[in-house]
Structure 1
Amino acid sequence: MIVNWWLGVKYIAGGQSWFLAMLNTFVHVIMYSYYGLSALGPSVQKYLWWKKYLTMLQLSQFFAVVIHTGVNMTQTDCDFPQGINYAVF
């Protein structure tokens, strides 16, 4: 994500890059918090009832990125590089 953020800010700064990176970063913070807590052992794992919601969040992120990028690919008045759209899609 650090490389993606740097490339996005350096070469294609704007709303399209920001949305995808922020969404992905948010999901990763939640995801790695879950992984870190689950690594603490059985005494903590029993409180991690929200695993299925984490999976739902990840799937929601996937669909949001696909929809967002798909809409961006079909818009002709946007200066966002089409090659990046294809790579993300």
Structure 2
Amino acid sequence: MTIAVELEAQILRLYHVGKWRCGTIARQLHVHRETVQRVLAHAGLPRHGPPPRASMIEPYRPFIQQTLEKWSRRHATSAPRV
């Protein structure tokens, strides 16, 4: 779904000049918050919000990698040849 160019310009103006947040802009202009975020992303602005969290397996990644490599080497040599 596309929005009017005037609405897009108004979103950008309120964000840049007014320093309004996405939710405030959405409420004021009666559009969905994701619409405002899409307009800002289309304008090349980075997403705001918390930084992505590290994966829970990150501390175990070297162990998992070693185990997989060991397993693949072991089974590659013992695989029956057809």
- Larger RCO: 1 or 2 (CA < 8 Å, sep 6+): 1
Q: Which has the larger radius of gyration?
A: 2
> How does the TM-score come out when normalised to structure 2?
0.30
